[in-house]
Structure 1
Amino acid sequence: MKISTKGRYALRMLLDLAEHRNEGFIALKDIAERQDISKKYLEQIVPILNKSDILVSNRGFQGGYQLAQEPDRITVGEILRLTEGSLAPVACLASNAANCSRSDFCETLPVWKGLNDVINKYLDGITLADIVEQYHCTETDNYVI
């Protein structure tokens, strides 16, 4: 499994919104500048996130984007499933996969199911708030004289 640029940038965008959530709606150009991501690329990601319960947009002079939920309610797994589709390590475990003709006697299927469970449990156990908090703890722990 390889996470695409779309998934990585969506996560960075939402982390930026989590860090600046007390500032109201944030302009996409500000997120793009802080994250060093093309605004045009973010414009391609926004519709995916806008269709979910993760992102809220506001048009006009004070327009921009903000999280629709608190950062401790949005998981990395949720974000990646929106942007990447299935996180399954093999095609036969994807939610839209056709039933594999070997599934009844496949010796390796339990291995892939176990890996799929570990991946999903891990990513669903990390929230935006966890990442922001961990970053700020690491940032303060790196003080050097």
Structure 2
Amino acid sequence: MKYSSAFVRKNGGCWYGVLNFKEDGRWHATSHRLDATNKQTAARELTVWRAKMEARATAENAEDARASRTVPAYVDGYIDRMASSEAIEGATIIDYRATARRIASAFSNVVLRDLTPEAVQRWEAGMLKSGLSAATVGKAHRLLKQI
């Protein structure tokens, strides 16, 4: 989450939403004039605006990651985030890490934004040809698709 706190304030008869965030070690704030006529409505509008701003920040971060990170680095980061949030079981993390090694061997120098469906299809065909089961290949495909 980019914005650490949010609040509404009234200034000159108008309601404003304020979002605070830390960037480059310094605190910043951004504000937005709301259409609300009372504090309760302003708080609801603030919630909607904050969600839009968080979505925009998430999209920008994802685009930055696609521009510069390799596929294996992005996969490892995804697995680390899932493990630290305890969103999935430990056994699943172990499976994901094994699959990540397969991904790393195939796409070690590929930047995420350059990953193509054709490259993934060739990788999957190669895994099947090497004797891996369709279930194993399917698991690898689903992990890559999640990311």
- Which structure carries more relative contact order (alpha carbon 8 Å, separation 6+)? 1
TM-score normalised according to structure 2 size: 0.25
Structure that is richer in helix per residue: 2
Structure 1 or 2, whichever has the larger Rg, is 2
Structure that is richer in strand per residue: 2
TM-score normalised according to structure 1 size: 0.25
